[in-house]
Amino acid sequence: MPHSSADAPNGILLVDKPQGLTSHDVVARTRKKADTRRVGHAGTLDPMATGLLILGLGSSTRLLTYIVGLDKEYVATIRLGTSTTTDDAEGESLGTAPAAQVQRVTASAISEGVATLTGEIEQVPSSVSAIKVDGHRAYALVRAGHDVQLKARAVTVSEFDILSVIPTTDAEGNAVIDVEVRVVCSSGTYIRALARDLGFKLGVGGHLTALRRTRIGGFHVTDALDIYDVAEPPVLIGPADVARRVFASIDLSLEQAVDLSHGKKIELEGQPESKEPVAAIGPEDRLVGLIAVKAGFSRVLLNFPPYDPIAAGDEVDLTETTTS
């Protein structure tokens, strides 16, 4: 029997997604272990990718909207010399550059290409992304045979470090260059597109052969569990602990917590005005809600009552603003 709303699991679970599983597969396994339908994730990872997947359970799924917008860190391998239909190793080859052309690509040229893809840039997402076009996922339209042209969007690549440059050959004996990189970027940045664009700038084509997400905001993959090691029921990070990692926070008295949970404005003398949400934490370390502060008073943005008022429902889907 699924949990009642009073005792349903509520919190955040950090999972180190293995290669080969979809993000939905991880959600489905977690639903079974937690015995609840109310599970969502903050930022999809392709089956080929590994690394940090943040799951929200119970009313903590409401926090996923804020977590998905945090900056992200990846370690990836870009293969220069071959382009694919999906900009990664799962797609079909679009062609391989001549060996002599690949061999003329120098480490300094790669560094210059990376530099042009660092900072605030305009990026055209991969056509097989989860972005919606006329109500349909782009990848679904591509699989159905449609020609999908996505618009460029502004993203920020704050760090794009080259870790190694290794000239090698692929399985067919073609000359290629494997470039291992570390990328820190804004939400909505496609690492596959960086691989594609670097290969284009160098005139030899490029695609992604490995991708691992190591961090989302203040959450690190080193703190994540293998999905097969998740307990039944899972041990979760509590909503208040999660909120403190994502937002500035203030502690409330019992009276303030009760008033705020009923949507009332409360006086917060000495509290500076906030442009970003502030987590309001009540007694017994309970996340009461997210608020804005103006002129010394609160304004409720989102409340978290003692019991989840939302009946068990479908998976929370935030993939439109995620990266891969």
So which residues are the catalytic ones?
46
According to DSSP H, which parts of 172-289 are helical?
A: 191-201, 239-246, 254-261
Residue 275: which residues within 8 A CB-CB, separation 6 or more?
none
Phi and psi at residue 190, to the nearest 5°: -105, 115
Amino acid at 295: A
Q: Token pair of 43, please?
A: 């930022």
User: Cβ of 5: how many Cβ atoms within 10 Å?
Assistant: 18
Q: How far apart are CA 13 and CA 270, in angstroms?
A: 35
State the burial class of residue 158 (Cβ atoms within 10 Å of its Cβ: 0-12, 13-18, 19+).
middle
Q: How far apart are CA 89 and CA 194, in angstroms?
A: 14
The helix/strand/coil state of 219 is strand
DSSP string, 289-304: EEEEEETTEEEEEEE-
Strand-strand pairing, 39-41 and 50-57: antiparallel
Amino acid at 2: P
Q: How many CA atoms lie within 13 A of 97 on its CB side?
A: 23
Are the C-beta atoms of 74 and 237 separated by less than 8 Å? no
Are the C-beta atoms of 226 and 14 separated by less than 8 Å? no
Peptide bond into 233 cis (omega under 30): yes
Q: How far apart are CA 37 and CA 14, in angstroms?
A: 18
